[in-house]
Amino acid sequence: MTHLQALDPKEATGRSKELFEGIQAKLGMVPNMMKTMGNSSVVLEGYLNLSEILGKGSLGGKLGELLALTVAENNACNYCLSAHSFIGEKLVGIDTATLETAREAINNDPKIAAALQFAKTLIEKNGRVSAEDVDTVKASGYSDGAVGEIVAHVALNIFTNYFNNTANTDIDFPEVKAKIKPDFPVAEATLLK
């Protein structure tokens, strides 16, 4: 059962209604996460703006989706695992084996693997990475700007993970469940759903 209710786009008003109309026009649907974020138009608009601008960055859509999976697995967010597995395969064209290994911060391409591992390190260290951690990802070919973008992708995905875990958002994509079990009882009940 959801903890925060999704808005019906047909009944929305004001800025949320405008945002829902834009999402519908772009995606052909309004995903449940966005319907739920629409309870606060500033939350939805903030998410949409950061997501859109990061999509224009140097990392590209493929790496963005793989980073999302690494972060979602580490935060046991079934909604985000489901959404990004679907988007990665159907819209970005990533094979299922690559999607699966990204959840563990693994990739056959050493440069992509370095970015995924750096994202995992960011999460594990709560952002307090060492100079060595940063030097390692930069040695794989990432500029200072690209490292900043990796941090921004991690932050965006932590936001959506926390939002969906809080809301217990109904999954409207083919369901993917986290392999890890969190060390707190509320999310474990969600995982067993």
Using one digit for the tens of pLDDT, what is the confidence trace for 92-136? 999 999 999 999 999 999 999 999 999 999 999 999 999 999 999
Question: How many other β-carbons are positioned within 10 Å of the β-carbon of residue 169?
Answer: 28
Region 11-27 average pLDDT: 96
Q: Can you tell me the distance from the alpha carbon of 87 to that of 92, in angstroms, rounded to the nearest whole number?
A: 6
Using one digit for the tens of pLDDT, what is the confidence trace for 181-193? 666 554 444 444 3
Segments making up each domain of the chain, as ranges? 14-55, 60-178
Q: Can you tell me the distance from the alpha carbon of 101 to that of 54, in angstroms, rounded to the nearest whole number?
A: 23
Report the CATH number of the 60-178 domain: 1.20.1290.10
Q: Specify the 3-state DSSP secondary structure of 22.
A: helix
